[in-house]
Chains A and B, each alone.
Chain A
Amino acid sequence: MKQSGSTYLLFFLTVWLFLSGCQRDDLCPETTQTTPMLIIRFFDSNEPDQSRSPTNLTIRDTQRDSILYYRVQLDSIALPLKTDTNTTEFSFTINAPEVEEEEEQDPDDGTGSNVLKANTDILSFSYSREEEYVNRACAFKVNYLDLRLSLDPGEDGNWMGTYIVEQIEVQDETQRHISIFY
């Protein structure tokens, strides 16, 4: 009786020690869907099924003038939307010059071709927000609902053509949310 008592205690202590050290929830894994980014894909206006990559695309946050994408050639981009307010605004500059050259840019480079001239369009995204609990490590995510956007071509006209809001609810990043044709 005395022998089995201490064996029981030892076994129990081992299990207990193991479990009390468990910290499985510590890190939020990349695979867990947290606050989604807005996925935008560019297509050719003339061939709507065909993806197209704008040349030297620079995307900036208009409020702080910080650069999100710098002169990239991508047909698909991911934009973070603000989680603490209902609107986010980005400027999309096609054929963006290198930052040092901006001051010296000649508005008329003589070629007459739209492809080489820089053009900035401003997209304003508006939405309502919904907080959702994920788990102990990742805490909460925001889902963006009722997504709308408006386009401000600016003084240089618009380089973007039409756009389609494919999903008005942004909850994950499995499919694109907006298609832009140019």
Chain B
Amino acid sequence: MRHNVIFLFFISLGALLGPGITFAQEEVVQDSIDDREKYGLRVGTDLSKLARSFFQEDYEGFEILGDYRVYENFYAAAELGSERLPFKEDNLSVVANGQYIKFGVDYNAYENWTGMENMIIAGLRYGFATFSQELEEYTIYSTSQFFGPDIRTDGGTTSGLTANWIELVAGLKVEVLNNLYLSANVQLKRRLFQTAPNNFDNLTIPGFNRTYDDSNIGVGYGYAISYLIPIYKK
């Protein structure tokens, strides 16, 4: 009779523990790769403007930029800059001096693999600039060469000029080191409104670049380095 009890005890022990052991074997092994993506504030500076300031004698410019990931593929983006922009044609030479701000949205059209944070950017901006323009040199144009050229340097400076525009941006942004990004973009701009000097025109605008006689279109480009300050992961 005592052997039966002992035998019964061991069987019940097995019955109790058995299922426990089998459950432990069916449990899913936790994946060690983190597929969450980084969200944070990215700030940077435009390298092309720094390089141009160094190599081009009459140009001086500086731009800081930033973007913030709002939701999945959408980023709020802004650029803030200051430029001393010269513009020369055959018969005209001006310099525009001023500041600009651009803000808008970037959309990431690239599907990243896990752990990567690169972008193909399609963006939209609204830009605004305040500046002054100095007319350094201008020609009084005449079809007759009889009295020789009349080139004047008394153009003067007009301040308090403004301009605003909208911009389409297309670019790439690549993570080269941890949280460090390099980006390149091209911009297509359309000028909306401007205040221009009396008896003249805005030939070049900080943030917009050169303007044309009979259209509101402008183009630009950027090459920047930026750093992501991570805030959270999702």
Contacts and interface: CB of A to CB of B under 8 A. Distances in A.
A5 B92 contact: no
Contacts of B122: 5, 8
Interface in B140-158: 140-144, 146-147, 150
Contacts of B26: none
A20 B186 CA distance: 10
B219 A16 contact: yes
B213 interface: yes
Contacts of A80: 142, 144, 146-147
A12 B141 contact: no
Q: Which interface class (under 10, 10 to 19, 20 to 34, 35 or more) fits B?
A: 35 or more
Contacts of B54: none
Interface of B: 89-92, 109-111, 120, 122, 138-144, 146-147, 150, 168, 170-172, 186-188, 199-201, 203, 212-214, 217, 219
A135 interface: yes
A142 B200 contact: no
Contacts of B109: 1-2, 4-5, 8
A27 to B, nearest CB: 8
A-B CB proximity, top 9 nearest? A5-B109, A139-B91, A80-B144, A12-B170, A35-B142, A5-B120, A34-B141, A16-B186, A83-B140
Given A9-B170, A24-B212, A135-B213, A141 B186 contact: no
A22 interface: yes
Contacts of B138: 139-140
Interface residues of A, number: 42
A2 B110 contact: yes
Contacts of B171: 9
B113 to A, nearest CB: 11
Contacts of B219: 16, 19-20
B110 A5 contact: yes
Contact of B141 (A20, A22, A28, A78): A28
